Amino acid sequence: MEIYNYIKSLHLIFVVTWFAGLFYIPRLFIYHIEAWQKPSPDKEILSEQLKLMTKRLWYIITWPSAILCTLFAIWLLILMPGWLQQAWMHVKLGFVGLLFFYHLKCHQIFKQLQRDDVKYTSRFMRIWNEIATLVLFAIVFLVVLKNAFNWIYGVFGIFVLAILLMLGIRLYKRIRDKNPNA
């Protein structure tokens, strides 16, 4: 079963790079949205540069990482079919499904911004950016704690984390409103 450790390592590497892309892409969306509020020619120059950065991140890092992460996960499930009998794996796969929904919605936003179709505010994108964080916390705790996972504390913890993230976003907005260069 030595191959198991190699497959698991590759799966984890691509989980990390996938999340890196999912954490950074909404940040680029925020910059792109805020660039549209600037006067010309800044708006056009920034927009073109951000489109290029976003395209490279999305197609060179994020999509390939999602695909490779998934392929190695499937391979792990083939090697360890008993995991599919365990409740924690069903819940984890539910969170992975949520993560794919998030990824596909980011793809939709990416396509809109590539067409200069700005439909969201930077504040919305700051909140949107935290969804991947919540999913990451849920998956990591679920995988590490498995059957010992206490659902009441886990659900409570995710809500507390979400509230703290929202408060952090509000605090950042206040600081930024007072100092626009922050």
Extract the annotated binding site for heme: 11, 92
CA distances from 16 to 44, 59, 141 (A): 33, 16, 15
Contacts of 51 (CB under 8 A, 6+ apart): 32, 113, 114
Question: Where is the binding site, in residues?
Answer: 11, 92
Distance CA 26, CA 125 (A): 6
Are 68 and 10 in contact by the 8 Å Cβ rule? The answer is yes
**Alpha carbons within 13 A on the beta-carbon side of 100:** 10
Please, what is the end-to-end C-alpha distance for the chain in angstroms?
51
* Among 31, 3, 11, 53, CA closest to 143: 11
Are 35 and 45 in contact by the 8 Å Cβ rule? The answer is no
DSSP code of 1? -
